[in-house]
């Protein structure tokens, strides 16, 4: 083992971590909001909106993320009205395209996860809420959303970890995050194993931190479900 090489590889790769984290944080938060919108359309009761949401989920879950990313990155640039449109300064940036396609994709998966969470809310709780006169937004905010989110959280944390891995694809549209830098190092040095080990370690640590964060969130959301600690003796 050549520790000097490993150390210098690690330093080079660590410099790309902020970009990976930025891709991850932006796409997860945009994707989360988008998923809320889609799940609202899906379960809202309006037939046209529900069909649209169904189609959206089918398309974005059924095709590879890479082709979606290339569609956004190369496909949109093909049209003159987009190139001359007001959004072009943003859509021209590979980073924005990567975030956009990551967010669109995760929204499809997350919407299904959230729908599962909503379905697991007991109808009795909703009935009780309606019986005491809650309706509409208040019902969603106080009863439906908290319970549904808590039920959906384990599956959603898996999805969030998958997103961390998916940011690697941004390297294929010239965003130099950790995997892209690793690929460049491999083709410069031909020392695949060492570079792989360093990059893998970075991703595993990142995923571990994310999972711990999600577990903390889950604990704090289900505090009332755990048995109360034994009362301290006076």
Partner 1 sequence: MSGAAWAMSGSREPPRRNGGRQGCTGRSAISTLELLGFGQAGWGALLLVATLMTLAVTAAALLIGAVFGAIVAAAKLSGIPLLSALGTAYTTVFRGVPELLVIYLIYFGGSTAVTSIGQALGYEGFLGLPSFLAGALAVGIISGAYQAEVYRGAYLAISRGELEAASAIGMHFGLRFRRIIMPQVLRYAMPGLGNVWQLSLKDSALVSVTGLAELMRTSQVAANSTRQYFLFFIVGGALYLVLTSLSDRVFNQAERRANRSMPSSTLGQI
Binding string, residues 4-23; x marks residues near partner 1 by CB under 8 A? --------------------
Strand, helix or coil for residue 227: coil
Instruction: List own/partner pairs for 3-10 with CB under 8 A and 24 or more apart.
Output: 5/189, 5/191, 5/194, 6/194, 6/197, 6/198, 9/185, 9/194, 9/195, 9/198, 10/198, 10/201
How far, in whole angstroms, is CA 196 from its chain's centroid? 24
# residues near partner 1 by CB under 8 A: 46
**CB-nearer residue toward partner 1: 188 or 220:** 188
Asked if 43 is part of the footprint of partner 1 (rule: CB under 8 A), the reply reads no
**CB-nearer residue toward partner 1: 90 or 125:** 90
Pick the piece of the chain touching partner 1 (CB under 8 A) from 113-121, 133-141, 143-151, 196-204: 196-204
Instruction: List own/partner pairs for 189-192 with CB under 8 A and 24 or more apart.
Output: 189/5, 191/5
Q: Which of 184, 66, 166 minimizes the C-alpha distance to 110?
A: 166
Tokens of 194: 């060492």
Among 1, 190, 225, 233, binds partner 1 (CB under 8 A): 190
Least distance (Å) from partner 1 to the CB of residue 87?
15
Asked if 94 is part of the footprint of partner 1 (rule: CB under 8 A), the reply reads yes
Return the C-alpha torsion angle 63, 64, 66, 67, nearest 10.
-30
Among 42, 56, 57, 73, binds partner 1 (CB under 8 A): 73
**CB-nearer residue toward partner 1: 66 or 138:** 66
Asked if 120 is part of the footprint of partner 1 (rule: CB under 8 A), the reply reads no
If 0-12 CB within 10 Å is exposed, 13-18 middle and 19+ buried, where does residue 116 land? middle
Pick the piece of the chain touching partner 1 (CB under 8 A) from 3-11, 107-115, 184-192, 214-222: 184-192
Among 7, 11, 59, 87, binds partner 1 (CB under 8 A): 59
Where helices occur in the chain by DSSP H, the ranges are: 3-14, 17-43, 47-62, 65-70, 80-83, 88-91, 94-119, 123-131, 136-139, 145-166, 178-189, 192-221
Asked if 182 is part of the footprint of partner 1 (rule: CB under 8 A), the reply reads yes
**CB-nearer residue toward partner 1: 147 or 164:** 164
Binding residues for partner 1, rule: CB under 8 A, are: 58-59, 62-68, 70-71, 73-79, 83, 94, 161, 165-169, 171-174, 179-180, 182-184, 186-187, 190, 192-193, 196, 199-200, 203-204, 207
């Amino acid at each position: 083992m050549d520790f000097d090489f490993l150390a210098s590889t690690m330093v080079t790769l660590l410099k790309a971590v902020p970009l990976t984290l930025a891709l991850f944080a932006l796409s997860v938060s945009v994707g989360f909001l988008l998923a809320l919108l889609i799940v609202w359309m899906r379960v809202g009761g309006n037939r046209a909106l529900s069909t649209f949401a169904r189609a959206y989920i089918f398309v974005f879950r059924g095709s590879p993320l890479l082709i979606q990313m290339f569609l956004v990155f190369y496909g949109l640039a093909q049209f003159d009205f987009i190139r001359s449109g007001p959004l072009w300064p943003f859509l021209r940036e590979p980073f924005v395209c990567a975030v956009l396609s990551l967010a669109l994709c995760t929204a499809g998966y997350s919407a299904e996860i959230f729908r599962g969470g909503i379905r697991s809310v007991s109808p009795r709780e909703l009935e009780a809420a309606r019986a005491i006169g809650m309706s509409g937004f208040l019902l969603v905010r106080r009863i439906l959303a908290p319970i549904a989110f808590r039920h959906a959280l384990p599956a959603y944390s898996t999805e969030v970890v998958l997103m961390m891995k998916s940011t690697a694809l941004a390297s294929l549209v010239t965003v130099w995050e950790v995997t892209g830098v690793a690929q460049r190092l491999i083709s410069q040095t031909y020392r695949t194993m060492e570079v792989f080990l360093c990059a893998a370690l970075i991703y595993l640590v990142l995923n571990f931190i994310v999972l711990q964060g999600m577990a903390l969130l889950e604990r704090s959301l289900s505090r009332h479900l755990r048995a109360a600690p034994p009362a301290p003796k006076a």
